[in-house]
A and B are shown apart, each in its own frame.
Chain A
Amino acid sequence: MIRNSKKLLKNKGPKQQSVTDQNTKSQETLQKDFQQNVNMFRSIYLDCSDVIFRSFRIFGQMDAMIIYIEGLTDTDLLDWNVLSPLMKMEADEAEPPGIDWIKNHLSISDTKKVNLVADCIESISAGRPILLLEGELYALSFGLTKFEKRSIDEPEAEKVIRGPRGGFIESLQVNTSLLRRIIKSPAMKIKTMTIGEYSKTSVSLIYIEGIVSPPLIEEMESRLKRIKIDGVLESEYIEEMIEDNPYSPFPQFLSTERPDVVSASLLEGRAAILTDGTPFALIAPVSFFTMLQAPDDYYDRYIIRTLIRWLRFVFLFAALVFPALYVAITTFHQEMIPDALLISIAAARENVPFPAFVEVLLMELMLEALREAGVRLPNQVGSAVSIVGALVIGQASVQAGLVSAPMVIVVATTGIASFMIPRYMFGYSIRMLRFPLIILASVSGLLGIMLGILAIVIHLSGLRSFGAPYLGPLAPLKTSDLKDVLWRAPMWKMDTRPHFNKETNINRQAPHQEPGPERGGRD
């Protein structure tokens, strides 16, 4: 292992070199000489057939060139608002034609002057056409971006019964706009940076100033800036590069497709990271219990939602230990089974050739395989697979005497239980941890399960998500934060924000807002 890491270090050398090369190049500016500039861009975009170079003359005398990428730029607007006025303009104006004059005479809202070659390239890649002018050190970049994107749909993975239906899409601009439409205050800051040597992915760090604790933002920024990677294709790339404990099976970010969830988190003093090209936002810091809060919890009556939350806790536990408990109890602690049940289990198991441990493992693996297959397959086939899997295999294997019927019930219950977890990333961790527990249970019964659970608790106690203890607010205990963990307090009770970091701007709303007859509302 040590040797491996050394190799890695060696590999790092040249790579870093290339990054610095890029950096020196990026300091280059445009030249006075128009032809030189054009040649330079042509050489940069050599063999890039999607890059269009359109040369023309302004006032019939000044050489100019527009560079853009086909499909990223709105050519209609470009024709009407840039090319046509510039080409048709007469040279009889008093002022000499120059970049500022052109800038002032084009009816385009977003126009920027750029000087660095790197900025030009970035602009072109982002779909903003570049106008190069003869004898100018600056080029103009127009905000005429237009590319195909998906419409805003309901998030597939996070459906709610009552609540906003819009989900993030792959475009960062649209995503930030979705957020801005919810939180209109200028206190919501969006800091954007580019990550990825080749992909040049825009990554935005979003937070609300005055609510979030400043050190958290500093820490997040510095961690983001530390990333040196060739491309960022999904938010997971970012997540794995900046999380606190890379070896933990638990996700240390909340990834969500829902702008309302992100906004709620921002208002709680968390920060969000949006990545261009992914419809998922990363939220940090989070805790174990954040993973168990569903958006529905806040869009329905709190009493019902509290009960459902408890149900979720119970099933979380079931998803984790139920099969392990079954193994432990049926192979080590039979005396704990009620008599009648014991006898029926014994009867059911009479013809089963496998020990309970193998039986459970077999069925659990089958379940996981079915689930994975269901994800891969197209929708129609997917449901067919799950029907085949659940009904046919379950029924057939029981009838063939390969597994016992109680076992099928156990495994099915676990399956359902793991779907109760609102964050499927977190659900993955739980599903994964189930297997070591089953093995422990088969080795030393309940003792093994307890030891396994203790090990998980120790791990969780040591885990932090950007400085916030993962088990908070339960350990360390913050009584006032329990209002949104063990139950869901009514809105008029949620007076304070969770204090996972520094206690900045702790009050969420005016206190004592409990509605009632004496406050009016009833005649």
Chain B
Amino acid sequence: MQMSMLLYLTIIATGIITLPAITAKYAGNDLWISPIIASLAGFLIVFIAVKLHNLYPRKTVMQYSEDIIGRIPGKVIGFFVLFFYMEITGNVIRSYSEFILTSFLFRTPLIFVIASMLILCAFCIYGRLEVLARCAQFLFPVFILPLFFSIAFLARDFQFGNILPVLENGIMPPLKAAIPPSGWFGEIFVIAFLLPYLADGKKGMKFGILSVLGAMLTLMIVNLAALFVLGMAISNKTYPLMNVIRYASLGSFFENIEAVIMAVWIVGAFVKISVLYYVLTLGTAQWLNLSDYRPVVWPIGILLVQFTYWGVPSEMALGRSDATDFPLYSFFIQLSLPLFLLVIALMRNKYKKKKVGKPVQT
């Protein structure tokens, strides 16, 4: 349960702020369909990760990739995966801080926002996965309740007609629009790093699917809420959810409740960054064959700060890469690579089975 909350927050945290705009750009008012399609990728990845984990129990990707394709190629793949996570973590941190800077604190130095968050995350990771999981669990209601309450307050301003006409231009636009969110759903692949540490390993599949499902529903609801309130203006907003929540009004006194979204955003970003950071440090430690990942926490933190600057020059570039580069990249690393590993592993097992004559699989 803790894990599914962790994963849920990982997927959704940054998604809800930017994704509605990205999907709307392609899908227009059919944007709510896209998360459903995109979640398929998530389900597939959960399936692959769990299958791989069943084949190599109590091992993470870094470890079994070496088992599957040998030491050197395994290390190479490991390096790619690490590099990928390094970059997306950098991206996530950057988009977190950009959002804070463009909507709340306009003149605060970027490095301040980045560093303060990273230090918190580092502390969290230092307390091991257990602390991270508990934090996520405790913060889960903090994330989810304000979000849904503020959407509920908005109900007065909903114009349900905005959803019509459904599929005006056929299925293609929502399909196209499903690509960026599927990149987000791809992040569920961190499950491959967490599964070995799960108390009840058998439930991995269930929780993984649960979190993808939850993420899908949330994204859909957020997309719909944005659509109902903003109508077609949604596609040219940078942060539609922000606009929507700012619009919320409760008894005409509690009007400007964007503080809520800021809280939600920080909490979500915190969990997401922590998870990615954790995966990164754990992966690095395993890649370097260290027995404990703690020594690499700080060095990687410093590297991450670098990556937030190297990766993206500005908020616009960030938006672009979120929409186009990131999904493909994410697809390659998080879907194709594991799929490739799974296929090889299965083939090897079959071969072994023939040779030894008894099943290796537990």
Contact = CB atoms under 8 A, between A and B. Distances in A.
Interface of A: 329, 332-333, 335-338, 444-447, 450-451, 454-455, 457-458, 460-462, 469, 471, 474-477
A458 B131 contact: yes
Contact of B256 (A335, A451, A462): A335
Nearest to B256: A336
Interface of B: 1-2, 100, 104-105, 108, 112-113, 116-117, 120, 123-124, 127, 130-139, 253-259, 262-263, 266-267, 270
Given A338-B255, A462-B134, 6 more contacts: A335-B256, A338-B254, A444-B112, A451-B116, A454-B266, A477-B137
A359 B162 CA distance: 49
Nearest 6 A/B pairs, CB to CB:
A475-B137, A461-B134, A475-B138, A462-B127, A475-B134, A450-B266
26 contacts: A329-B259, A332-B104, A336-B256, A336-B258, A338-B255, A338-B256, A444-B105, A444-B116, A446-B259, A446-B263, A447-B105, A447-B113, A447-B116, A450-B262, A451-B116, A451-B120, A454-B135, A454-B266, A458-B120, A458-B124, A461-B134, A462-B127, A462-B134, A474-B138, A475-B134, A476-B137
A447 B108 CA distance: 11
Contacts of A471: 134, 138
B131 A462 contact: yes
Given A336-B258, A454-B267, A457-B139, A447 B134 contact: no
Most B CB contacts (10 A, CB to CB) among A337, A461, A474 go to A461
Contacts of B123: 455, 458
Contacts of A329: 259
B105 A332 contact: yes
A445 B104 contact: yes
Most A CB contacts (10 A, CB to CB) among B100, B116, B133, B263 go to B116
A476 B2 contact: yes
Nearest to A341: B253
B267 A450 contact: yes
A451 B134 CA distance: 17
Which applies to chain A's interface (DSSP): helix, strand, loop or mixed?
Answer: helix
A384 B2 CA distance: 52
Nearest to A449: B263
Nearest to B253: A338
Contacts of B134: 461-462, 469, 471, 475-476
Contacts of B2: 475-477
A182 to B, nearest CB: 34
Nearest to A451: B116
A287 to B, nearest CB: 12
B137 A447 contact: no
Contacts of A458: 120, 123-124, 127, 131, 135
A477 B1 CA distance: 8
Nearest to B140: A475
B113 to A, nearest CB: 7
A520 to B, nearest CB: 41
Contacts of B113: 444, 447
B258 A455 contact: no
Contacts of A447: 100, 104-105, 108, 113, 116, 262, 266
A461 B131 contact: yes
Contacts of A338: 253-256
A266 B8 CA distance: 38
Contacts of A333: 104, 259
Contacts of A445: 104-105
A461 B266 contact: no
A40 B139 CA distance: 66
B56 to A, nearest CB: 27
Contacts of B120: 451, 454-455, 458
A437 to B, nearest CB: 14
A338 B254 CA distance: 7
